[in-house]
Structure 1
Amino acid sequence: MTYVLSDALDRVDREAVWRLLSTEAYWGRWRSREDVERQLDGAWRVVGAYVEPTGELVGFARAVSDAVAFAYLADVIVDPAHRGAGLGRRIVATMIDEGPGADFRWTLFTGDAHGLYRQYGFTAPDETAMVRPGRQG
């Protein structure tokens, strides 16, 4: 199968993103559809993975950033039917290494994909990092 990655926000199938995040993402199921829409609208950058030639969205990530030096990677997800093809790695590489944030300091939260993110230089925070947990959990 052939996949194409794109950072065009207007190409994102919002229904597909909602379906993936509301059914497959353990980290944010508390979000409403309206929350996800606001997050898409406010994203600094998105990366979608699309099946060619149909254009079906089967992977996604978004980032928020100050557009100068810092970015937060969020909602990296691949449809279960398309896992195992390296899409997660391609999405992360496209987002953090192949775009306008390649020189940024990146951060993220994950409960299960530490091995993936270590491949891209993510490590445990040092003594300069602090986190205030959200009230949603």
Structure 2
Amino acid sequence: MQYEIDDDPSRIQPDAVWEWLSTEAYWGRQRSREDVMTQIANAWRVVGVYRADTGAQVGFARAVSDGVTFAYLADVFVIDGHRGDSLGKRILQLMIEDGPGRDFRWVLFTGDAHGLYEQFGFSAPDATAMVRPARSPS
């Protein structure tokens, strides 16, 4: 199968992103649809993967950044049935290496796919990193 990958925000199909994140993602399921739509709209960059034949979105990633030195990678996914064609690598290549944040300090939180992210320079945090966990709403 052929795929198109690009960073054009106007091509993102919010319904497809919401569908996957709200049912398949082990992270962030506490977000509402409105939350996800706001995150997509306010992202510094987005990358989408689309079937060349139908245009249906089958992959996604977004980044938040100060646009100068730092970026946070989030919500990276490829829908089952489309995995195995290096689409994850292609998403990260466009998002990180081929994008305006190539030389930034990038961070992400993930419980899987460590081997993929290591190919793009991600590693365990060093002594300069600290994290304040999210709080449950009161």
Question: Shorter-normalised TM-score: what interval?
Answer: over 0.9
Residue 3 of structure 1 corresponds to 3
**What is the CA–CA distance in structure 2 between the aligned matches of 1:92 and 1:20, rounded to whole Å?**
19
SS at match of 2:93: helix
Residue 63 (structure 1) aligned with residue 52 (structure 2): no
Residue 130 of structure 1 corresponds to 130
SS at match of 1:75: strand
Cα deviations by residue, 1:26-64 (Å, 9 ceiling, x for unpaired): 011111100001101110000000110311100000000
Aligned Cα RMSD in Å? 1.2
Instruction: Mark the runs of 5 or more structure 2 residues left unpaired by the alignment.
Output: none
Residue 43 of structure 2 corresponds to 43
Number of residue pairs the alignment of both structures matches:
137
In the TM superposition, residue 83 of structure 1 has moved relative to its aligned partner by 1.0
Q: Which stretches of structure 1, 4 residues or more, deviate above 6 A after TM superposition?
A: none
**What is the CA–CA distance in structure 1 between the aligned matches of 2:120 and 2:96, rounded to whole Å?**
8
Moved more, 42-51 or 80-89: 80-89
Residue 111 (structure 1) aligned with residue 119 (structure 2): no
Give the TM-score normalised by structure 1: 0.97
Amino acid at match of 2:49: A
Residue 13 of structure 1 corresponds to 13
**What is the CA–CA distance in structure 2 between the aligned matches of 1:116 and 1:24, rounded to whole Å?**
19
Amino acid at match of 2:120: Y
**What is the CA–CA distance in structure 1 between the aligned matches of 2:108 and 2:125, rounded to whole Å?**
10
Give the TM-score normalised by structure 2: 0.96
In the TM superposition, residue 89 of structure 1 has moved relative to its aligned partner by 1.0
